[in-house]
Structure 1
Amino acid sequence: MNQQKTPFQQIDYTLIFLVFLLMCISFLAIYSGTTEQYVDYEETGRDFFLKRQVIFYVVGFIVMIGIMSFDYELLKNFSIPFYVIGLLMLIYVELNGVVRNGSQRWMNFFGFGPEFQPSEFMKFFLIIALAHMLYLLTTNRTDKSLKGDLVLLGKILAVGMPPFLLILKQPDLGTALVIGSVIATMILVAGISWRLIFLCLLAVVGGIVTLVYLHNFHYEFFSSNLIKAHQLDRIYGWLNPDEYAGSFAYQTTQAILGIGAGQLFGSGFMNSVQAQSAAVPELHTDFIFAVIGEEFGFIGATVLLVVFFLMFYRMVIIALTCNNLFGTYLVSGIIGLLVFQVVQNIGMTVGLFPVTGLALPFISYGGTALVTNMIAIGIVLNVGMRTKNYMFQAEQQA
């Protein structure tokens, strides 16, 4: 005998409320971070980016509700077509994509229509494809041998590495690392033995050591085939911020100065020195955490981190309580997607990681990134509201 609620009676309103809090923080930070460096106050007004962000959030919530309206298990039927379409778009970008600022990341339809970035869609297509594949491979799996784990790992990499390499070649290191975080998350939740995961970590470390060796002893090959000049400059600025404070590390150095000046309570809304003087480039997008750190101090930054933590905690609960492996894998992939972006953005702002150009989810200004993040929330809510709760022993699902 089971006791069921309708899907809309199981909506995780706590998660929606946390997104609402992030929206409010985003509005405050974007308004304060919009300086005359980016807009002409007399012509557009200081609230130019704020108004656009409000529109993006309205669209995002509409899309989120749309994602919640159908059963997420229907995504299984489209996992292969989505993945193939995503790969074909990335191949098209590689062959005939729109070049901007030295990167070939965008496409349009035969010269018509607005440009868009296929890698943003590929993140979700990959999560759906990997979730469906793991659902098929691990449901009732009996082969727990090392050979079985190697086969499973090989299939995950076979699906995940093509989009990773195509995006890395654009070049778009930030998005490629996000794809890598999704792959790593799926490997962790697939039930592969820790010995094999440890060997994978050793392989990653070995790859980094190889890159360092090539940089030191075969620089021509390294710089012409493996990494672009602007990416290498960012690494130099990260490793030696004092030496490159006026060039490669300028953004990070100014952001750290602003966050440090905020101290415990901050300088107050729109009373910051670094933000209001536009000393930090890309303040309303990539480096928006610097605005929060300077104007709201350690306490304000901590509040933001707590909201993020609670949001991810709610997602983990949904993944753990879901009695359908496909739903668990879907939510796990999205957790890996969002957690990496938060950690990387805040880490690069405070100098812990190199600058990659990743936005802070739900906070930074930007339509495409925000709508895709709201799609992610919609999928998580969809899984949570369709999780069946039974009074007695959980029933097996096909």
Structure 2
Amino acid sequence: MEERKSSLQQLDFTLLFLLFVLMCISLMAIYSGTTEQYAQLDGTFFVRRQVVWFAIGTILMLAAMSIDYEMFKNFSIPLYGIGMFLLLLVHFFGIYRNGAQRWIGHPDYFLFQPSEFVKIFVIIALAHLLYHISQSPKEKTFAGDAKVVGKVAAVGLPPFFLILIQPDLGTALVIAAIMMTMILMSGVTWRMIGLLVSIVAAAISFLVILHNYFFDIFNIFIKGHQLDRVYAWLDPMGDTSGLGYQLFHALQGIGAGQLYGMGFTQGAKSQGGEIPELHTDFIFTVIGEEFGFVGATVLIVVYFLLLYRMVIIAFSCNNTFGSYLVAGVVGLLVFQIFQNIGMTIGLMPITGLALPFISYGGSALLTNMIAVGIVLNVNIRTKHYMFGEDN
């Protein structure tokens, strides 16, 4: 009884409240972004379905909280193996839609995107790997750091490439962001960080050279529709009726919102049906247009506070494995938030990444809810000592 009370006392109600605020913002934005664009449906159709997804996500979050996170060590390899099997299943037997092969299931009834859940499996696998490395501390050397990076790459790169060839560049970059966050958390030296940044810069330069002089080879790595998104990002005004159509209208909508916005369900672009995927990838446009700079700032502040709470949990945890788990979740959410908002306002190329807890959808929302459950799990089971950690 006392243990249950102690766990309840350590439940981070601030984080839960921030999550509830995001849920409310999500339902408002989805309602506003779909009432006119999908006028043939009931105005609350997508809202009701999103409520169902939130309910399922809450159950999964509670399930992720209920199991002692130390048990995740025992399942890290099987979960990673299941994730790789599902990605191979998608590669050979997946459903092809909108230029990509990312789903398994039935196109008319149920679609499941394994790459979303693979993010969680990769976080658990990398946390377990780095925990084992931390249990045998050695003198910090460049060679030792290289081994750490090599082991992280051995775990993270196989799912990265299997997701990349679907093609799903956005989710593949999320895997890369998780890997980089875990490497930073592992305590490698700045020399190694500098080397990794140099490798990334060299890879981008190599792709630019291939694009300019060996386009056939370049097309093996970057598909045509992905390149079109880069062109639209570099020059959104160059073809406002074609490649830059979506971004052009999104920027117009956000700009029209000015300081206080045009009002709930009053946005010209949001209600005009001119922006495809408004309730999913481009939902930030609804918030920027109808609630203005103030509304967009409130959303970003809520995200900042949510991530800040997670960072506090990661650093206050006296279990290395728990800290790595939370760090992986932070890397997962930070990249998705930055990429989605960035692409909507023209700072980043357009990808198919959802805005966490806001965009309409199932697989991505469930994954993020499970991730929050893992963070709450770590916080509940973190022991606090008055004079340091008990040896």
TM bracket, shorter-chain basis? over 0.9
1:129 maps to which residue? 125
Residues 91-240 of structure 1 mapped to structure 2, 5 A cutoff: 91-108=88-105, 114-223=110-219, 225-240=220-235
- In 2, are the aligned partners of 1:149 and 1:193 still within 8 Å (CA)? yes
Distance across 2 between alignment mates of 1:345 and 1:260: 17
Helix, strand or coil at the partner of 1:275: helix
- In 2, are the aligned partners of 1:149 and 1:192 still within 8 Å (CA)? yes
Aligned-residue offset at 1:112:
12
**TM-score w.r.t. structure 1 length?**
0.95
Q: Which amino acid aligns with 2:183?
A: I
Deviations 1:190-212 (A, max 9, x none): 11111011011001000001100
Helix, strand or coil at the partner of 1:46: coil
Distance across 2 between alignment mates of 1:392 and 1:256: 53
1:58 maps to which residue? 55
Distance across 1 between alignment mates of 2:171 and 2:369: 17
Match of 1:271 among 266, 270, 274: 266
Change (3 A) 1:321 1:215: same
Q: Number of paired residues? A: 389
Residues 275-290 of structure 1 mapped to structure 2, 5 A cutoff: 275-290=270-285
Indicate whether 1:303 and 2:278 are aligned: no
Aligned-residue offset at 1:113:
8.6
Residues 292-371 of structure 1 mapped to structure 2, 5 A cutoff: 292-371=287-366
Q: Which amino acid aligns with 2:53?
A: F
2:16 maps to which residue? 16
Aligned-residue offset at 1:285:
0.7
* Gaps in structure 1 of 5+ consecutive residues: none
- In 1, are the aligned partners of 2:35 and 2:44 still within 8 Å (CA)? no
Aligned-residue offset at 1:62:
1.6
Distance across 2 between alignment mates of 1:276 and 1:114: 28
- In 1, are the aligned partners of 2:117 and 2:363 still within 8 Å (CA)? no
Aligned-residue offset at 1:393:
2.8
Distance across 2 between alignment mates of 1:147 and 1:363: 43
**TM-score w.r.t. structure 2 length?**
0.96
Helix, strand or coil at the partner of 2:240: coil
- In 1, are the aligned partners of 2:90 and 2:104 still within 8 Å (CA)? yes
Q: Which amino acid aligns with 2:15?
A: L
Aligned-residue offset at 1:108:
3.9
- In 1, are the aligned partners of 2:30 and 2:360 still within 8 Å (CA)? yes
Runs of 4+ in 1 over 6 A off after TM superposition: none
1:261 maps to which residue? 256
Q: Which amino acid aligns with 1:55?
A: V
- In 1, are the aligned partners of 2:37 and 2:271 still within 8 Å (CA)? no
Helix, strand or coil at the partner of 1:201: helix
Distance across 2 between alignment mates of 1:140 and 1:15: 34
% identical aligned pairs: 58
Distance across 2 between alignment mates of 1:329 and 1:164: 19
- In 2, are the aligned partners of 1:7 and 1:385 still within 8 Å (CA)? yes
Helix, strand or coil at the partner of 1:276: helix
Q: Which amino acid aligns with 1:245?
A: T
Match of 2:72 among 68, 72, 75: 75
Helix, strand or coil at the partner of 2:104: strand
Aligned-residue offset at 1:8:
2.1
Aligned-residue offset at 1:259:
0.6
* Gaps in structure 2 of 5+ consecutive residues: none
Aligned-residue offset at 1:5:
6.7
- In 2, are the aligned partners of 1:35 and 1:278 still within 8 Å (CA)? no
1:45 maps to which residue? 42
Helix, strand or coil at the partner of 2:103: strand
- In 1, are the aligned partners of 2:185 and 2:327 still within 8 Å (CA)? yes
